[in-house]
Amino acid sequence: MTSSRRVQDRSKNKRIHHLEIVKEKWKILSKVLFLMEVIKEETEMVIPVRSLYQYRKQINLPKPHKITDFIEKCPKLFELYKDQRGTLWCGMTKEAEDLLEEEERLIEEQSIKAVEYVTRILMMSVDKRIQLDKIAHFRRDFGLPVEFRNKWVNQYPQHFRVVKSKDGVEFLELVNWNPAWAITELEKKALGLNDGIGREPGVLSLPFPLKFPPNYKKVYRHGGKIEHFQKRSYLSPYADARELKAGSLEFDKRAVAVMHELLSFTIEKRLVTDHLTHFRRELVMPQKLMRLLLKHFGIFYVSERGKRFSVFLTEAYDGSELIEKCPLVSWKEKVLSFVGYRGKKKKIPTFSDLSDMEERDIIEEKDIVDGDTEIENICAEFEEEAVMDGLETVSLINDDELEISHVSNAYKASNNKI
């Protein structure tokens, strides 16, 4: 249904340009972070460039573009070397290694909040357990570490545990119900609370915050439908929803509340819609989830650019900026500031053996121009969408600069053609 021409045309005139730009920025960043994590998993944190070609799909680099062209666009993060046999290797700069260490520290600092959000997702589920692979899709969205499956999930036995089904499928199962966490983020804001109040979840009547683009009322008129929807009571995402009839007004409004809650948990208040559809059965959501998201434009915004759509929580953004940024979002923006190339390509140094790469720090700064199972898990999480139409001006095979400002300009130019 997400490829339906009618659905795409229906929302074409409701695009929020600021959020489209946000999506394009994070698409660039996702490619960079993927390469950094792949290299990090190597024993000496260096990898033959030819080994990187197997990840073309994950970084969305179609032929005839070369991996080296992409790497050379980020000289502050990646470095290329040749050994005596002429084999080309890729490693990370000292700045990139420092950034990864900083990320590990931030993830550790945010771990308590991540534990809360994972537990609350389990509390919202029908059977109080969810397949581990499905939760892994949210790893970066919730600020979870790379070793989420193998290590992290076993560190909090008081909240959840890993269990196996008869056919060997691993599930993350809730251990203890926490009444203080059975309260929505919307309730917290309305009541001015930082923590829950420990009451039994039930029927709610809180309206959802709405945010529309300036031209919304000129294009779409819904009369009193929005007001009627906002006044309708609905069941809390943490209450038992098995008795709700699929397709009913109560069922659909609860589904909106569940999606609102999930997006509130994410660090960027944004998710790939594919990840949401994985939870339709566990969280009692409709089959035609995309249609519901598009219908409630104002609460959510669906970016339909590329192969995979993203949904934003509109209230969380002021233009293209998050209103409240957690440290991990600020870290991502910091990494993004290191992406860019200006000037001519620098000469690739040759080393007598791999150990000589440890001496790479003696390369003068003027040469850098301003401007196993874990690997499989990383690949699964970084299958990003195709490059947006109109962004071909940011070519990976040119020696021109690759700057985030160019993404914005290219996007604006593409919209002028619409």
**pLDDT tens digits, 11-52:** 555 778 889 888 888 888 888 999 999 999 888 899 999 998
Cα separation, 10 vs 87, whole angstroms: 52
pLDDT lower than 50: segments of the chain: 1-10, 218-220, 341-344, 353-415, 417-418
Give every CB contact of residue 146 below 8 A, 6+ residues apart in sequence: 37, 41, 139, 374, 377, 378
Q: Which long-range contacts (CB under 8 A, 24 or more apart) does 148-152 make?
A: 148/377, 149/373, 149/377, 150/373, 150/374, 152/111
Cα separation, 353 vs 2, whole angstroms: 51
- Number of other CB atoms surrounding residue 350 within 10 Å: 11
Q: How many CA atoms lie within 13 A of 410 on its CB side?
A: 17
Cα separation, 379 vs 131, whole angstroms: 18
Cα separation, 187 vs 65, whole angstroms: 49
Angle (deg, nearest 10), helices 111-124 and 94-109: 60
Asked whether the CA dihedral 147, 149, 154, 159 is positive or negative, the reply is: positive
B/e letters for 126-156, b = 16+ CB within 10 Å, e = fewer, are eebbbebeebbbbbbbbbbbbebbeebbeeb
Give the residue among 220, 267, 303 at the shortest CA–CA distance from 107. 267
Quote the tokens at residue 367. Answer: 């040469």
Cα separation, 64 vs 395, whole angstroms: 12
- Number of other CB atoms surrounding residue 40 within 10 Å: 18
Give every CB contact of residue 4 below 8 A, 6+ residues apart in sequence: none
One-letter amino acid identity for 318? D
Strands 78-82 and 310-313: unpaired
pTM: 0.78
Contact 392, 32 (CB under 8 A): no
Instruction: Name the helix (H) or strand (E) containing 266.
Output: none
Contact 395, 72 (CB under 8 A): no
**Distances 274 to 2, 60, 305 between C-alpha atoms, Å:** 10, 17, 14
Quote the tokens at residue 107. Answer: 């993830």
Terminal-to-terminal C-alpha distance of the chain: 23
Cα separation, 115 vs 132, whole angstroms: 14
Query: How do residues 266-298 score in pLDDT, each as one tens digit?
Result: 999 999 888 788 888 899 999 888 888 988 988
Looking at residue 58, its pLDDT comes to: 79
